[in-house]
Amino acid sequence: MSKWAPAQPRASSSDRARSTERSEVRAAVSRFLAVGIFAMVFVAVPAALWVRELSERNAMDNAIQHAQRLADYSVGPILSDAVLAGDPGATRRLDERLAPRISDGSIVRVKVWDPAGRIVYSDLPELIGQEFTLPTWAPELLADGKGRATLGLHKDPGDENETEAGELVEVYVRASSASGDPLIFEAYFNDDAVRDEQNALVVGLIPAFLLSLGALQLAQLFPAVQLARRIQGHQSTKRQLLQHAIDASDLERQRIARDLHDDVIQDLAGLSYALEAEERHSTPENRALFSQAKAILQKNVQTLRAMTTALYPPDLEELGLPAALTRLTAPLLEHGIEVKLHIPASCDIDRDRAAMFYRVAREVLTNTMKHAHAGVLELTLMQDDDRTILLIHDNGCGFDISAGAPDNHLGLRIMRDTIQVAGGSLEVRSWMGGGTSVMATLERVAPARVR
């Protein structure tokens, strides 16, 4: 009984090929989209961080401007000498001026420092009169009036009352008293305004940025699909050309085998019978000559019959791949090469892939028998859920891979191209004096059946 699935119509094979090509195009497009999405994320995340940083700097600048206006127009004009001298009654007007801003939460804390580091005013009366070491940049601030702002938790000496409020915007600007004395105005603002501005910028810019990247991705998608289809078309054409070349080679082998069998072998067989008849009727002194000629001729007939079998094996479809591979090793046994087979009793493989494995095995065994000078050959055929693997190893003389494959491996180079086009691989490993290993791998495709 044949090991093959029922033969399929050509339309079914063509449909399966087109379906495979469409799947490959879809896979290529999916990979392109995945890379594009990754690139978008890779670009969008740094862009979002940059926008947040930019918005934070912008918010800091706004906080400095706000604090400078407070210092110049609300606090400075009423910083009298009495306030600077620490008169408790003189701070009432400042408290009344700042109370609405503190009560609505727009300002958390206010401090006014003199150049010596003494707090001359604060909305917390207990801070007035305390002295702290000013930052190193304080003289620069008093000189050029360039404000400074920071966002975060504040744990410096003198900031104990602000620590519990969490993240705050701390701003230092130059101020002047009513009499023109230089002072430092320090204000703490709630960070909500900064966060709101950050979020507003991110929400405003990031969607537009992502839409631009998405439009660019879509603009590239259509050329990518066309390119994938074009490449797939070239691969399909290459696959068809290789298949046609293999089919033509098989047809030529079949023609040569048929011509040898029908003409040359039949004529030589007839000549052998004629020599046998002449041997029986010849004189005693000529019988030895006819006998020797008949033996040589019969040996040549056997050689030609073996060649016809090798050119076009008649048993591949009838026996299936495992049995055909087993028979293929018979000539090696005749040449004294020990053969170790690891072949399953049956193999679930479609017709085309079985033919590829058979051709690979035929090329390898022929090269081993003619050139390897091997004593042992091991042939293994195995399958798992995804792949079918043919592994052949001999202990012959081998060759140097780095020097290129010998000319007698031309058939294997052709088979490698064919198997690669079919989605598989063919690897040849060899060492001088260490033998040669050939491994052919093809994806396992269950043969379709007609309902």
Whether residue 147 lies inside any domain: the answer is yes
Domain that holds residue 90: 79-190
CA distances from 82 to 88, 121, 187 (A): 9, 11, 22
Domain boundary among 190, 222, 244: 190
Give Dmax (Cα) for the chain.
Answer: 158
Supply the angle between the helices 351-367 and 410-421 in degrees, to the nearest 10.
160
Asked if the structure places residue 70 within a domain, the reply is: no
Burial 233-245 (b: 16+ CB within 10 A, else e): eeebeebeebeee
Compute the distance between CA of residue 101 and CA of residue 82 in angstroms, rounded to an integer: 24
Q: Could you give the angle at which helices 410-421 and 192-259 cross, rounded to 10 degrees?
A: 130
Assign 53 to helix, strand or coil. helix
- Please give the tally of structural domains in the chain: 2
- Examine residue 56 and state whether it is found in any structural domain, yes or no: no
pLDDT at position 81? 85
Residue 46 lies in a domain: no
| pLDDT number for residue 4 | 40
Looking at residue 378, its pLDDT comes to 95
**Residue 239 covered by a domain:** no
Neighbour tally for 83: CB within 10 Å = 23
Measured in Å, how far apart are the chain's first and last C-alpha atoms?
20
- Cα distance between residue 269 and residue 289, in whole Å: 18
What pLDDT does 33 receive?
74
- Please give the model's pTM, rounded to 2 decimal places: 0.45
Q: Show which of 190, 212, 238 is a domain's final residue.
A: 190
What's the CATH number where 337 sits?
Answer: 3.30.565.10
Question: CA 282, CA 290: separation in Å to the nearest integer?
Answer: 8
Q: Which helix (H) or strand (E) holds 382?
A: strand 376-383
pLDDT of amino acid 127: 86
The residue from 163, 190, 217 where one domain ends is 190
Enter the tokens of residue 157.
């000496």
126 within some domain:
yes
> Which CATH number fits the domain that encloses residue 111?
3.30.450.20
- pLDDT tens digits along 92-119: 888 888 888 888 877 888 999 899 889 8
In a domain, residue 184? The reply is yes
* Regions of the chain with pLDDT less than 50: 1-13, 446-451
Give the pLDDT of residue 395.
93
Residue 116 belongs to a domain: yes
Tell me how many helices (H) and strands (E) the chain has: 13, 10
